[in-house]
Amino acid sequence: MKMSMKTTLKLFLGLLLISSVAKAQPVITDPFFDEVDYIGAFGATDWTSGWCEWNPGEVVYPATTVTVNAGNITSNTTWTSGNTYLLNGWVYVKSGSTLTIEPGTIIRGDYVNKGSLIIEKGARLMAQGTSTNPIIFTSNEDPGNRDYGDWGGVILCGKATINQVGDSAEIEGGVGSVYGGGSAPDDADNSGTLEYVRIEFAGVPYVTDKEINGLTMGGVGSGTSIHHIQVSYSGDDAYEWFGGKVNCKYLVSFRTWDDDFDTDNGYQGMVQYAVSLRDPNIADPGSKSNGFESDNDKDGTTNVPQTAPVFSNVSMFGPKALTSTSVNSNYKTALHLRRNSSLNIYNSFFAGYTNGLLLEGALCEANATSGDLNMKFCSMAGIPGSEFQLGTGSTYDLSNWYFNSMDCNDTLFSNSELMITDGFNLSAPDFRPVPGSPLLDRPWLDCAASVSEENQNVQLVNIYPNPAGSNASLDFNLLESGTLTIDILDITGRHMVTVYSGSTNKGFQHIEFSSENLSEGLNLIRITEANSTSLHKLFVVH
């Protein structure tokens, strides 16, 4: 019996689901994920509007009115929006206690004592801002004088499973708190709620390779709610997960120093809708900067549970708005997957990094081959260096793995082909795709690219012969003069060739082109004119 690509894909995803459930790992078909019809973190709605801040260094925040000195919070406590709080050193919320922060409350971290907020196992942080009244953690320095690492950051420690010996470890950063469930792990542990929260100018390297990040999550359970978080100007990673099963939505990483999203020590949560935007001049000279960095653990062991989170709908804007943009030499890759990680990424794109995907180590390669490490329905765009990199001495065929037709991945030569409104704007970004973008109208977990014929200026399109062999022709009528670009895409939306680009007078048009090197089967002819795009089917047989 002959099966269509769509049927085969659904069967494959079903088998993947069965396999993943058997391993108790999260899967893209989990009800947590919204089944959206676009690639990346944005469709028509800008969910950053109203609560994100793109110039926090110049915001005039109120002077502090309450000083919270280093020490322990041992009873239920509320911080009110009528006060501005100074974190003067390491403040610990101890087990059995809940810290509640009202919407609109501002907490400023002390520069000298590196104020930090640590939620220990058994404690909770209830920081529930709103889209019009977010909670803000920021520097206590004056406008114009704020910088990376002005204060420590926010740390959550929970009781969920991790893959360290004894299911327990000291959280990174030197604060001394322990995370992980120990002899009685609780994967549904609840460390509280963070929603509509901004964390600015945090991230401190107290110990080399053991830094406090913007938001650190150690062994945090799925009972915790985390969504609509913006981490800006972090002096280390924006977000880092150490084990646990917390799920997150709507994450923003803005102009961070090291990595945007770092997963370690058996993290098995789910994340949907995440966006990062990098400063071309700022990168970490120590460990080098990546978009994603993922390890099973620091030694690359086979400890279980394995680091195997599922990320979907990620929009990653690297430092290179153009392939010619000069950037800090310490930028490394969009994705550095290593040390036996089994990270899974779906429906996402990675634009403007110097290099694309670095898959490092025999164990990671084995995970990719076995289907435990996955990239599906993803695009890499505007990568002037190496799109695919391996560890020293490896001969693994990473390109062949990435372009497996079942996985529906593609690469684009330039960022502009993604057709994003203004994604690389460091002062007022707009991450939404414009109409006609290949990121839009993409069925959930389906290889099919959008096929639209709504460009009213381009009419009476005729493609012949269709199916085509080595050559084909395109006829159409242009109602008004304009500048046209005609591209051929494969079924996944990957750009194959531009067959015409230039100013065109109105009237009948005849374009001839070679189809000899096109993929056999369904291809798409994209006609772009001003802000309008139409797509038309071309079948090729060889």
Model confidence over 400-457: pLDDT tens digits? 999 987 899 988 888 988 989 999 999 999 999 988 888 998 999 988 765 555 567 8
Q: Tokens 């994100």 — which residue?
A: 52
Q: Tokens 């110049």 — which residue?
A: 58
The list of the chain residues with pLDDT below 50 reads 1-23
CATH number of 449-540: 2.60.40.1930
pTM of the shown model: 0.84
- Structure tokens belonging to residue 520: 């056999």
Predicted local confidence at residue 214, as pLDDT: 98
Cα–Cα distance, 416 to 489 (Å, whole number): 15
Q: Closest by alpha carbon to 304, among 361, 363, 346?
A: 363
Predicted local confidence at residue 7, as pLDDT: 42
Predicted local confidence at residue 492, as pLDDT: 61
DSSP classification of residue 238: S
Predicted local confidence at residue 449, as pLDDT: 63
- φ, ψ of residue 273 to 5 degrees: the values are 65, 90
Predicted local confidence at residue 210, as pLDDT: 73
Q: Tokens 């009476």 — which residue?
A: 460
Our separate counts of H helices and E strands in the chain read: 3, 39
Query: Are 362 and 369 contacting, i.e. CB atoms less than 8 angstroms apart?
Result: no
Cα–Cα distance, 360 to 358 (Å, whole number): 6
* Contacts of residue 526, Cβ cutoff 8 Å, sequence gap at least 6: 438, 485, 486, 487, 488, 489, 533, 534, 535
Predicted local confidence at residue 243, as pLDDT: 98
Predicted local confidence at residue 16, as pLDDT: 44
What b/e sequence results for 381-406 when a residue is b if at least 16 CB atoms lie within 10 Å of its CB, and e otherwise? bbbbeebbbbeeeeebebeebbbeee
Q: Tokens 């374009």 — which residue?
A: 511
- φ, ψ of residue 252 to 5 degrees: the values are -120, 130
Predicted local confidence at residue 450, as pLDDT: 54
- Structure tokens belonging to residue 108: 């400023």
* Contacts of residue 315, Cβ cutoff 8 Å, sequence gap at least 6: 40, 41, 42, 274, 275, 276, 348, 349, 423, 431
- Structure tokens belonging to residue 224: 């915790």
Q: How far is CA 99 from CA 125, 201, 225, in A?
A: 5, 22, 15
Predicted local confidence at residue 201, as pLDDT: 98
For strands 116-119 and 84-93, give the pairing: parallel
Predicted local confidence at residue 44, as pLDDT: 96
Whether omega for the bond prior to residue 435 falls within 30 degrees of 0, making it cis, is no
Predicted local confidence at residue 531, as pLDDT: 67
What count of Cα atoms within 13 Å lies in the side-chain half-sphere of residue 403?
A: 15
507, β-bridge pairs: 478
